[in-house]
Amino acid sequence: MNDGHSIPQLGFGVFLVEPAETERIVTDALDIGYRHIDTARIYGNEEGVGRALAASRIARDELYVTTKLWNDDQGTQSAFDAFQGSLDRLGLDHVDLYLIHWPVPAQDRYVESWKALEQIRESGRARSIGVSNFMVPHLRRLLDETEVVPAVDQIELHPAHQQPETTAFAAEHGIAIESWGPLGQGKYPLLEFPEVTEAAAAHGKSPAQVVIRWHLQRGFIVFPKSNRRERMAENFDVLDFELSGGEMERITEIERAGRLGPDPARFG
């Protein structure tokens, strides 16, 4: 990343993982080999993530943990307090990456919040800082009005919605892209598209593995979510094949600007 730190490109996300199930599910993920966990205060499962990390006895420097500042906590002191709350629930003395979850332009506090994250990074309690759901105008304001360039922008990104303007701007400024909803959240039949199933058949892999591979080969950081151990293992088993240039292009051509989540210009 642009701050000199490394991030495992393939991780595990825990959005919509029930708090009561989180410890078991994250324990399974760690057992399969995942070392990068993406959570957020608003997911309500930081404690379960923390318990699984502690019980795993995996060395802290082999783990990569991301959490996020929720919209209601944007500000200066409120961001410091929210960050400490996340550390306490995770049972950690630092996270690897702390993100502003949404820009919420209507409340106009993301620049102020970013300055708080800069101080958190300075303190060493977040090794890297970044943003999520920031579009070009939001990124541009941070670049114009603050010191630290975000290490990442975590945005909705899957074959039907590739956000070319944001990814091009990010590339220009050395901001890594993290794809959320990488499998389309099961909300459209991405895994049945011929562009995907034909590549899967050609490589003896599943459609989900092909889509994850597409993200990796595009250079995106990706952390698909599943509650099911066999799918977690499937989604992690993507390092032994490579999509051809033609297969990559066909999947890229699926683009149809089909957003699944809220519009970052309005949400919050």
User: Known catalytic residues?
Assistant: 43
Closest of 103, 109, 207, 214 to residue 155, by C-alpha: 103
Q: Name, in order, each residue with C-beta under 8 angstroms of 144's C-beta and a sequence gap of 6 or more.
A: none
- Nearer to ligand NAD by C-beta: 4 or 226? 226
Among 51, 89, 121, 225, indicate the residue that binds ligand NAD (CB under 6 A): 225
Closest of 191, 181, 251, 190 to residue 217, by C-alpha: 251
Among 185, 197, 217, 252, indicate the residue that binds ligand NAD (CB under 6 A): 185
> Nearest distance from residue 173's CB to ligand NAD, in Å?
19
Site string for ligand NAD, 227-246 (x = CB under 6 A): ----x--xx-----------
Does residue 180 belong to the site contacting ligand NAD (CB under 6 A)? Answer: yes
Which residue stretch of 56-64, 112-120, 185-193, 245-253 sits at the interface with ligand NAD (rule: CB under 6 A)?
Answer: 185-193
Which residue stretch of 53-61, 78-86, 223-231, 237-245 sits at the interface with ligand NAD (rule: CB under 6 A)?
Answer: 223-231
Does residue 208 belong to the site contacting ligand NAD (CB under 6 A)? Answer: yes
Does residue 182 belong to the site contacting ligand NAD (CB under 6 A)? Answer: yes
Which residue stretch of 24-32, 44-52, 114-122, 222-230 sits at the interface with ligand NAD (rule: CB under 6 A)?
Answer: 222-230
Using CA atoms, how far residue 51 sits from 20, 24, 46, 111, 251, in Å, is 11, 9, 9, 33, 38
Residue 66's Cβ-count burial label (10 Å; 0-12, 13-18, 19+) is buried
Which residue stretch of 23-31, 69-77, 165-173, 183-191 sits at the interface with ligand NAD (rule: CB under 6 A)?
Answer: 183-191
> Nearest distance from residue 38's CB to ligand NAD, in Å?
4
Element (DSSP H or E) covering residue 245: helix 245-252
Helix axis angle, 46-56 to 77-90, nearest 10°: 40
- Nearer to ligand NAD by C-beta: 234 or 247? 234
Using CA atoms, how far residue 82 sits from 37, 51, 102, 119, 258, in Å, is 19, 19, 15, 14, 33
> Nearest distance from residue 236's CB to ligand NAD, in Å?
10
Residue 102's Cβ-count burial label (10 Å; 0-12, 13-18, 19+) is buried
Cα angle: 69, vertex 74, 75; to 5 degrees:
135
DSSP state of 158: B
Binding site for ligand NAD (CB under 6 A): 13-15, 38, 101, 132-133, 154, 180-186, 191, 208, 223-226, 231, 234-235
